[in-house]
């Protein structure tokens, strides 16, 4: 996998492990190691390990945009966990530049009116955009997503066509309604008063744990090989970290 620390600056692939932790007040409650570089695919096994250890699941979960996916939002919903998990464009949406871009983009698909009852969109000129296709996409983990396509009937001669879209034919948009639903719920949670508190707390909770272990304790490389051995190795570091916190 590609490492964050790339001293040669050549993007060289190196053997490594993706370490995930759950923490509270900078105490490590749960840790798992993965051979997958993408954090998205680590949430399910991480929660399974948490449930195995404590015979219970957390009531809430806070995570950054690396974990925001339809599969993970659905997982949290099924488990009854209230998630404060960003999606990949959340921060971009919330900054001033992002809000200004949205205000200046009235033709973006997110700005189009959607009639949920009749399942069609309405273009900026008032033309219905009917569903023309529905496809199922399978992710790397085997999760299946449904994507719908909607098309305007006749864009020829439209006075705002050049600013609406650049294609040669009628405008077509794709929408994943399930994902949009989960993103809206995530947006509501994250922007709530409690959501803002949890976002600030996550930055001051999880990140310092990794910083302490890597920088203060100088643990940047595993000395063993094989998943079982490195799990034990990191477990000893996690135990030592918690004991230092307890005695501090």
Complete domains list, the chain, with CATH: 18-92+184-247 (3.30.420), 114-178 (no CATH)
Report the chain's mean pLDDT, rounded to a whole number: 91
The Cβ-side half-sphere exposure at 86, using a 13 Å CA radius, reads 17
What is the rounded CA–CA span in Å between residue 237 and residue 109? 48
CB crowding 181-193: b at 16 or more within 10 Å, else e: ebbeebbebbeee
Q: Which residues pair with 82 in a beta bridge?
A: 60
pLDDT of the residue at 248: 78
- Cβ–Cβ under 8 Å, residues 150 and 172: yes
| pLDDT exceeds 90 at position 118 | yes
pLDDT band at 11 (very low <50, low <70, confident <90, very high): low
Over range 5-9, report the average pLDDT.
62
pLDDT band at 15 (very low <50, low <70, confident <90, very high): confident
pLDDT digits (tens, 9 = 90+) for 196-215: 999 999 989 999 999 999 99
| pLDDT exceeds 90 at position 150 | yes
Counting Cβ atoms within 10 Å, is residue 23 exposed (0-12), middle (13-18) or buried (19+)? buried
Percent of the chain with pLDDT over 70: 91
Phi, psi dihedral angles at 10 (to 5 degrees): -125, 10
Token pair belonging to 107: 């033709």
Over range 67-83, report the average pLDDT.
97
Token pair belonging to 194: 């409690």
Q: What is the number of residues in the chain?
A: 248
Rg of the Cα atoms in the chain: 23
pLDDT of the residue at 5: 65
What is the rounded CA–CA span in Å between residue 101 and residue 113? 18
Residue 162 CB neighbour total at 10 angstroms: 8
pLDDT of the residue at 4: 63
| pLDDT exceeds 70 at position 3 | no
pLDDT of the residue at 94: 85
Terminal alpha carbon distance of the chain: 36
């Amino acid at each position: 996998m590609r490492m964050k620390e790339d001293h040669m600056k050549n993007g060289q692939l190196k053997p490594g492990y993706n370490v995930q932790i759950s923490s509270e007040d900078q105490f490590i409650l749960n840790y798992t190691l993965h051979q997958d570089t993408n954090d998205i695919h680590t949430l399910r096994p991480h929660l399974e390990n948490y449930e195995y250890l404590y015979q219970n699941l957390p009531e809430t979960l806070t995570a950054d945009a690396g974990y925001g996916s339809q599969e993970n939002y659905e997982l949290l919903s099924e488990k009854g966990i209230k998630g404060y998990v960003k999606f990949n464009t959340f921060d971009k949406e919330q900054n001033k530049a992002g809000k200004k871009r949205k205000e200046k983009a009235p033709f973006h698909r997110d700005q189009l009116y959607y009639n949920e009852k009749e399942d069609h969109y309405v273009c900026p000129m008032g033309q219905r955009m009917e569903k023309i296709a529905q496809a199922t996409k399978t992710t790397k983990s085997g999760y299946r997503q449904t994507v719908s396509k909607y098309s305007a009937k006749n864009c020829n001669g439209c006075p705002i066509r050049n600013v609406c879209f650049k294609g040669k034919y009628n405008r077509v948009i794709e929408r994943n309604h399930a994902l949009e639903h989960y993103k809206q719920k995530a947006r509501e949670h994250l922007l709530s008063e409690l959501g803002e508190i949890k976002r600030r707390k996550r930055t001051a909770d999880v990140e310092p744990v990794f910083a302490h272990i890597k920088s203060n304790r100088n643990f940047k490389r595993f000395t063993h090989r094989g998943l079982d051995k490195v799990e034990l190795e990191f477990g000893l570091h996690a135990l030592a970290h918690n004991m230092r916190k307890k005695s501090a």
